[in-house]
Amino acid sequence: MSIDRASPVPLHIQLKQALKDQILGGSWKAGDLVPGEPDLCREFRVSRTTVRQALAGLAYEGLVVRERGRGTFVAPPKLTERAAERLSGFYEDMAILGHPPVSRVLRQEIVPASEQVAARLNLKTGGRVVEIERLRLVQGEPVVLTTTRVPHKLCPGLEAADLTHRSLYEYLETECGLTLARGRRTIEAVAADARQARLLRTRRGAPLAFLESVSYLDDGRPVEYYLAWHRGDRSRFEVELFRSRGGERESPLPPNHLGRLPPGSGSLRKARRS
């Protein structure tokens, strides 16, 4: 690691890149303590301001985590999902990355649908739904808290299914004979409440990515109403975008879409199962 003082590139940028190379190159692993500010100042013969600027840049990119009173640590890599682009489940996305998750089922029962849930699933208020709350763990670390509702009449027996090591979408398709075709999702940033922080092993008020989703069968019936809280420090969503040509417009929303989006959030284009 070195700095070229004759370079026109600012010193803090060079220092950030030198430290970044240690992380991306594997010399520093997730959880390792980055050398302290005095050590970096001496090694690179730069000011503390330069060091702080470099570390702030790494923190902004999500490569390090700075903890008051403890120091700066290499952050664990984020888990890339395609949930904003295609109709896939968390299990499928993580399995593709080679990290099939484990689900800790917190609740799995038949309950009456609230007015909001009934509206999303095209049911009468009080209609029977299977409600499943799961804590999703990757390599033993909790990263997502989910609540799923499925009309009981579409998949009787789901309330007793073992989903510890199984994709819900795969179960719906193979065990219930349902063909999922499309969905509509919104994503917004929220702060973790006390219960979410405890389950996800983060601090209260920590940033979470909140997903709200309705999935539909190929005949247009809603089959799943899904809420998910993803740890902001471990999640990243990948989207492939296409520029419209010739005045093409997005197809209209299905009748039971998610409704008005929260202020400041944008509409995601329709996701199709690949």
Q: Please give the class, per CATH, of domain 11-74.
A: mainly alpha
DSSP annotation of 177 reads -
Q: Beta strands of the chain (E only): which ranges?
A: 64-67, 71-74, 79-81, 102-112, 128-138, 141-151, 180-191, 207-217, 222-231, 235-237, 271-272
Residue owning tokens 């007793």: 160
Note the pLDDT of residue 157. Answer: 94
Write out the chain's pLDDT in tens, 274 residues: 678 888 889 999 999 999 988 888 888 888 889 999 999 999 999 999 999 999 988 887 778 888 888 889 887 776 555 544 444 555 455 555 555 667 899 999 999 999 999 999 999 999 999 999 999 888 788 889 999 999 999 999 999 999 888 888 889 999 999 988 888 888 899 999 999 999 999 889 988 989 999 999 989 999 999 999 998 877 777 666 667 666 555 544 444 445 443 333 333 333 333 3
Note the pLDDT of residue 274. Answer: 35
**Of residues 63, 71, 5, the one with CA closest to residue 34:** 71
CA dist 86 → 31, 143, 273 (Å): 32, 20, 5
DSSP annotation of 160 reads G
Residue 38: phi, psi to the nearest 5?
A: -60, -40
Note the pLDDT of residue 48. Answer: 92
**Of residues 186, 101, 187, 113, the one with CA closest to residue 151:** 113
Q: What's the CATH number of domain 79-240+248-272, 3.40.1410.10, 2.40.50.100, 3.40.190.10, 3.30.70.270? A: 3.40.1410.10
| pTM assigned to the model | 0.63
Question: Could you tell me if 64 and 18 are in contact, meaning their C-beta atoms sit under 8 angstroms apart?
Answer: no
Domain ranges within the chain, ordered by starting residue: 11-74, 79-240+248-272
Note the pLDDT of residue 137. Answer: 86
**Of residues 272, 84, 95, the one with CA closest to residue 170:** 95
Q: In the Cβ-directed half-sphere of 153, how many Cα atoms lie within 13 Å?
A: 10
Note the pLDDT of residue 70. Answer: 85
